[in-house]
Amino acid sequence: MSVTQCKLGSLLIKDHYGEVVEKVCTYLVEHGARALGVLAKETGLQLEQVKKALTVLIQLGHVEYGCHKRGFVEYSARLDRILLHTRYPSYIYCAKSLYGDAGELIIEELLQNGHMLMSEVVSKVWQRLMEVVEQNKFVEEGTVRQKCVDLISTHFLQRAPAVTNNSELKEGSATPTLTVPEEEMYKIPKGMAPDSKINIRKRKLSETGADENPLKKKKTEPAIDEGIYWGVNFDRFHQYMRDQVIVAAIKRRVDENAAMIVQTMLRISEVTTSCLADVTNPVATNEIFEALPKEPAIDQSTLNQYLKILVEDQTEFVSKYSTSGGGMYVVNIYKAVKELCIASLGSTVQERFGQKSYRIFKLLLTKKYLEQKQVEDFALIPAKEAKEMLYKMFAEQLISVQEIPRTPDHAPSRTFFLFNVNADQVCRNILERSYKSIVNLFLRRNHETQNNKRVIEKSQRVEAIAASLQSAGADDAQTAEIEDMITPAEAAQLKRYKDNISKYAIQ
**How many CB atoms are located within 10 Å of the residue 478 CB?**
14
**pLDDT tens series, the chain, 507 aa:** 788 999 999 999 998 888 999 999 999 998 888 888 888 888 888 899 999 999 999 999 899 888 888 878 888 989 999 999 999 999 999 999 999 888 999 999 999 998 888 888 888 988 888 887 766 577 788 888 888 989 998 889 998 888 765 445 555 566 777 788 888 888 888 777 766 655 444 444 444 444 444 444 444 566 777 788 889 999 999 999 999 999 999 998 888 888 898 898 888 888 888 888 888 888 888 888 888 888 777 888 888 888 889 888 888 888 888 887 778 888 899 999 998 999 999 898 998 888 899 999 999 988 888 888 888 888 888 888 888 998 999 988 888 888 888 888 777 777 888 889 888 889 999 999 999 999 999 899 888 888 888 888 888 888 888 888 878 777 778 778 877 888 888 888 888 888 888 877 765
What pLDDT is stored for residue 210 in this prediction?
43
Measure the CA–CA gap between 180 and 19, rounded to whole angstroms: 33
What pLDDT is stored for residue 142 in this prediction?
82
Helix (H) or strand (E) holding 129: helix 118-132
What pLDDT is stored for residue 195 in this prediction?
67
Query: Where does residue 355 rank: exposed (0-12), middle (13-18), buried (19+ CB within 10 A)?
Result: exposed
Q: Prior bond to 412 cis, omega within 30? A: no
pLDDT per residue over 453-507, tens digit each? 888 888 888 888 888 887 877 777 877 887 788 888 888 888 888 888 887 776 5
What pLDDT is stored for residue 218 in this prediction?
45
Helix (H) or strand (E) holding 238: helix 234-253
pTM (predicted TM-score): 0.84
Q: Which residues pair with 67 in a beta bridge?
A: 73
Measure the CA–CA gap between 143 and 194, rounded to whole angstroms: 7
What pLDDT is stored for residue 215 in this prediction?
41
Measure the CA–CA gap between 448 and 446, rounded to whole angstroms: 5
- How many CA within 13 A on the CB side of residue 321? 15
Please answer whether residues 494 and 458 qualify as being in contact, where contact means their C-beta atoms are separated by less than 8 angstroms: no
What pLDDT is stored for residue 216 in this prediction?
43
What pLDDT is stored for residue 169 in this prediction?
53
Measure the CA–CA gap between 308 and 142, rounded to whole angstroms: 45
Q: DSSP letter string over 276-317?
A: T-SBPPPEEHHHHHHHS-SSS---HHHHHHHHHHHHHSTT--
Measure the CA–CA gap between 88 and 507, rounded to whole angstroms: 8
